[in-house]
Amino acid sequence: MAKKGRVFSGARPTGRQHLGNYLGAIKNYVAMQDEYDCVYCIVDVHALTTVETTQDLKLNTFEMALDWLAAGIRPEESILFVQSHVPEVMELHTYLSMVTQFGKLTDLPTFKEKVRQQPENVNYGLVGYPVLMTADIVLYKTDVVPVGIDQAPHIEFAREIVRSFNYRYNTKVLIEPQVKHTEVLKVVGIDGKDKMGKSLNNHIELALTPDETTKRVREMVTDPARQRKTDPGNPDVCNVFTMHKIMSPQEEVDMINVECRRAGIGCVDCKLRFAANLNKNLEPFRAKRAELASQESYVQDVLNDGARRARTIAQQTMKEVREAMQLP
């Protein structure tokens, strides 16, 4: 069946992926492969805007690739590669930077947020982050970028840069990417409060062993008003129940919904049930991951092959870009 067009998405190499990454991004990456030609990029150059040491970059890239592949990214079909392996993106970034107004970049809320987070390292790359992101997208002649509602302004900004470029050089060579809104599921961490993430250490890594997973799940915060097992609980404010709704069979969800409210089931039992369901769901992922982890050279081959295929597209785009710009 003919696919609907090309999708591009990138994520920084953050190493082992957690449940939030899986439910909020990777699951959708896997599903989109059925409908689109997908290009998935581990954006190591973007990571350099915030990390000052590169010592973990290789390992984090490898671990992330393992998780993506084990979760169902199909490298024979999709292009999976590392951003810096296709250096054409840096060239396009430079050309796009000449049609992007500095003031617009420094006005972006995401830039201001970064300045607050790392006032001692407001580097030039940080300001140009959205320009490099635009280069990533348009270099591969992307039709569609999957984003959550909160990220839509970034793509709108990318579209503006593309329009400025095409207008200045009187060309149509760069494609304005379309936004594909995805239902963003915000996974809350085991603290029951903040978005699940590595930096807050409130995450559950996909690659943990079943025992480690159960231990982590036991630490999950439930309805804070429920002090004792004999108190009735409120599943509507309990993150464990929210996760049950995503992971567990409907009958079990219905049972917990009733029993929790009348203190028929305690929080520990409820968590152990969730851990069991989570472990069961992750079984095929873990088996595949273990198999891939034992074949390091295969994973490297996948990334090299991805870079080769990505580069073929990139070189063609750059040829057209240089022609359109009438570079000598």
**CA-CA distance, 318 to 228, in Å (whole number)?**
65
Which of these segments, 17-25, 86-94, 121-129, 270-278, binds ligand ADP (CB under 6 A)?
17-25
Count of CA atoms in the C-beta half-sphere (13 A) of 274:
28
Give me the residue whose beta carbon is nearest to ligand ADP. Answer: 24
Total residues binding ligand ADP (CB under 6 A): 14
Reading across the β-sheet that carries 144-147, which strands appear in turn? 79-82, 37-42, 6-11, 144-147, 178-181
- With contact defined as beta carbons under 8 Å apart, do 29 and 40 qualify? yes
| Interface residue with ligand ADP, options 71, 126, 144, 187 (CB under 6 A) | 187
| Interface residue with ligand ADP, options 7, 11, 133, 144 (CB under 6 A) | 11
Measured N-to-C along each axis, helices 88-97 and 296-325 cross at an angle, to the nearest 10 degrees, of 40
- Tell me if 193 contacts ligand ADP by CB under 6 A: no
Q: What is the closest distance, in whole angstroms, from the C-beta atom of residue 129 to ligand ADP in the complex? A: 11
Which of these segments, 18-26, 215-223, 252-260, 279-287, binds ligand ADP (CB under 6 A)?
18-26
| Interface residue with ligand ADP, options 8, 14, 130, 161 (CB under 6 A) | 14
| Interface residue with ligand ADP, options 6, 7, 15, 21 (CB under 6 A) | 21
- Tell me if 32 contacts ligand ADP by CB under 6 A: no
- Tell me if 159 contacts ligand ADP by CB under 6 A: no
- Tell me if 185 contacts ligand ADP by CB under 6 A: yes
Q: Which is nearer to ligand ADP, 25 or 321 (CB)?
A: 25
Which of these segments, 20-28, 56-64, 91-99, 175-183, binds ligand ADP (CB under 6 A)?
20-28
**CA-CA distance, 200 to 155, in Å (whole number)?**
27
Q: Which is nearer to ligand ADP, 134 or 317 (CB)?
A: 134
Q: Which is nearer to ligand ADP, 83 or 317 (CB)?
A: 83
3-state secondary structure the chain: CCCCCEEEEEECCCCCCEHHHHHHHHHHHHHHCCCCEEEEEECHHHHCCCCCCCCCHHHHHHHHHHHHHHHCCCCCCCEEEEHHHCCHHHHHHHHHHCCCCHHHHHHCHHHHHHHHHCHHHCCHHHHCHHHHHHHHHHHCCCCEEEECHHHHHHHHHHHHHHHHHHHHCCCCCCCCCEEEECCCCCCECCCCCCECCCCCCCCCECCCCHHHHHHHHHCCCCCCCCCCCCCCCCHHHCHHHHHHHHHCCHHHHHHHHHHHHCCCCCHHHHHHHHHHHHHHHHHHHHHHHHHHHCCHHHHHHHHHHHHHHHHHHHHHHHHHHHHHHCCC
- Tell me if 186 contacts ligand ADP by CB under 6 A: yes
- Tell me if 74 contacts ligand ADP by CB under 6 A: no
Which of these segments, 21-29, 59-67, 95-103, 230-238, binds ligand ADP (CB under 6 A)?
21-29
| Interface residue with ligand ADP, options 79, 196, 206, 282 (CB under 6 A) | 196
Q: Which is nearer to ligand ADP, 25 or 175 (CB)?
A: 25
Q: Which is nearer to ligand ADP, 22 or 140 (CB)?
A: 22
- Tell me if 12 contacts ligand ADP by CB under 6 A: yes
- Tell me if 82 contacts ligand ADP by CB under 6 A: no
- Tell me if 25 contacts ligand ADP by CB under 6 A: yes
Q: Give the binding site for ligand ADP (CB under 6 A).
A: 11-12, 14, 20-21, 23-25, 185-187, 195-197
